[in-house]
Structure 1
Amino acid sequence: MPRLQIRGAELHYESLGHGPPLLFIHGLGSSTRDWEAQLAYFSPRFHVVTFDLRGHGRSDKPPGPYSIAGFAADTAELIRWLSLGPTHVVGLSMGGMIAFQLAISAPELVQSLAIVNSGPEFILRTLRARLQIVQRKLIVRLLGMRQMGRVLGKRLFPKPEQAELQRLFIDRWAENDPRAYLDALRALIGWTVADHLDAIHCPTLVITSDQDYTPIAVKETYAARMPQAELSIIRDARHMLPLERPDAFNQVLMEFLLKHRPLLRNLPESCEG
């Protein structure tokens, strides 16, 4: 089981294939396992790397506090240790936030970005948003991670034909360490790089599901502020897009990567302008 000692924690990672480096960053409460369909699809043409963030999966779960900047620092060290940079970076949900932060704090390590059902900030601007976070904390503390997985699983995979996906999601969610999960959840609150979007000059693909938590208009707005960003909408899909609709997701991402790969060879090897 490959592991690296990074900033005081051992992080589990997986590496497969040969070619241009392609790094996938999972979301809150997830792990490398949710990228299985992407490992199989992209590894014939790319050197694909996935890893478990600290507090997740098979990585160490040291006490918090955690932060998006800290997760990005872990990611930067992983890229350096594995000599991946500059690499294509794909981030889902919290992983997209980490990808944004990485592109700001270590642009020389990022060749392109794919931001999936995510955004450049997590600021609780409404009472409803604050109550949703309080609800999550209470469910985890009082009822446990499996019940949290049941609540989310019904929202994310509501169709009868998705029953097996829902079961898989709940089983994996139940394996999360409650303390580490809550530490990671707190890392999101108040984080923002929204004022720095114009500094991200590498090609960026913003992928959104039409039924994601946040409206398409939110992604359109922030994508318009990025010099080389484009938006792709996948219909009849929810938040866990790479798991729910892997074929559609993989096709959109592959088209983006192949379109920009020749261009990237002629650019400075970083996200810097």
Structure 2
Amino acid sequence: MPMLPLDGVSLHCDTRGDGAPVLLLHGLGSSGRDWELVTPRLAAGHRVIVPDARGHGRSETPSGPYGVPLFTRDIAALCDALGLTRVHVVGLSMGGMMGFQLAVDRPDLVRSLVIVNSGPELKARTLRRKFAFALRLLVLRFLGPMGMAKMLAPRLFPKPEQAELRQRVLDTLGHNDADAYRRATRGLLGWSVLERVKDIACPVLVLHSERDYTPLSEKQAYVALLRDARLQVLSDSGHAAPLDQPEQLAEAVEGFLREVEGAAPATRLPA
């Protein structure tokens, strides 16, 4: 079932393993390949579903504006088409944004949520953040996806021994459809569900890499707003944790899933 036709788009989706469903959501300009070093371990005890968002990877690239709500509606429709309920959702960067949107829009669907180097909004609240957003749009406009890939690769993987991972960024992010990538980027800027996260009732694990773009304090601030959440730091890791620390990340996710699945439902006392 590599391609699944939905309303207005067909999404590429890989599945592997058996058991409780785990949905892995990738980052901007990437694809489900973000998770290829993590999937085998998670699939040993779960049914792992790895889609490509519209305009990404091997999914279709329809015209029109993109954005987190639209990407998330596609993923919800995919889950419904597959008959999935009570899904463990794990999202990296843009995928984490989609995870938050899914948790507030379809709480019936989300059993637990793992957020990797992401947050519940992407707003330019400081001059530094405004400059970073403007720079990204300028790079995409004048240098295209390959220019963006060349800028991001050494930030994502700065170590000398990470040359293959830097090349991977050029080979994947750098070969995006330029128009779709610009539309996806614009669709993320200004997005927020921050005021709605207090309503998320499922357990949440937030993973922060030591070298992530955003500081630990930003994650701590929104974790404090969630009902049932904790934060864990991934050591010696950058933004793309599933690639530079796949074992450490998989171990954290597996431990969290064991806790969620082992938790006994609350017993209702007789009136």
Question: In the alignment, residue 228 of structure 2 is paired with which amino acid?
Answer: Q
Q: Provide the rounded CA distance (Å) in 2 between the counterparts of 1:135 and 1:122.
A: 15
Task: Please state if 1:266 is matched with 2:261.
Answer: no
1:173 maps to 2:173: yes
CA distance in 1, matches of 2:27, 2:119: 12
CA distance in 1, matches of 2:97, 2:142: 28
TM-score where L is the length of structure 2: 0.95
The residue that corresponds to 1:256 in the other structure is 256
Counterpart mapping for 1:179-190 below 5 A? 179-190=179-190
Aligned to 1:231: 231
Supply the distance in 2 between the matched residues of 1:190 and 1:145 (Cα, whole angstroms). Answer: 21
Which residues of structure 1 form unaligned runs of 5+?
269-273
Give the AA of the match of 1:196: R
In the alignment, the residues of structure 1 paired with residue 76 and residue 217 of structure 2 have an alpha-carbon distance, to the nearest angstrom, of: 31
**How many residues in Structure 1 have an aligned counterpart in Structure 2?**
267
Q: Alpha-carbon deviations, 1:142-169, whole Å to 9, x = none?
A: 2221221111001010100111111112
Q: For 1:22-101, what aligned pairs fall within 5 Å after superposition?
A: 22-101=22-101
In structure 2, the residue matched to 1:143 is 143
Matched residues in 2 for 1:56 and 1:234: separation? 27
CA distance in 1, matches of 2:133, 2:62: 22
What is the CA-CA distance between 1:141 and the residue it aligns to? 2.3
Which range is displaced more, 140-149 or 52-61? 140-149
The alignment's TM-score, normalised by the length of structure 1, stands at: 0.94
Is the deviation greater in 200-209 or in 189-198?
A: 189-198
Distance 1:144 1:183 in 2: 12
Q: Which residue of 2 aligns with 1:10?
A: 10
What one-letter code is carried by the residue in structure 1 that aligns with 2:249?
F
- Give the % identical residues: 45
Q: Distance in 1 between matches of 2:101 and 2:41?
A: 27
Runs (4+) of structure 1 moved beyond 6 Å? none
2:54 maps to amino acid = R
- 1:198 aligned counterpart, secondary structure: helix
Query: Aligned partners of 1:150, 1:267: CA distance in 2, in Å?
Result: 51
Kept in 1: contact 2:28–2:185 (CA 8 A): yes
Partners of 1:64 and 1:180 within 8 A in 2: no
> Matches of 1:159 and 1:267 in 2, distance apart?
47
Q: Any idea what the Cα deviations from partners look like across 1:113-166, whole Å, max 9, x if unmatched?
A: 001100011111122222222222222222221221111001010100111111
Stretches of structure 2 lacking an aligned partner (at least 5 in a row): none
Deviation at 1:267, TM superposition (A): 6.5
Q: Give 2:211's aligned residue.
A: 211
Mapped contact 2:27–2:34 kept (Cα < 8 A): no
Please give the root-mean-square deviation of Cα atoms over the aligned residues, in Å.
1.4
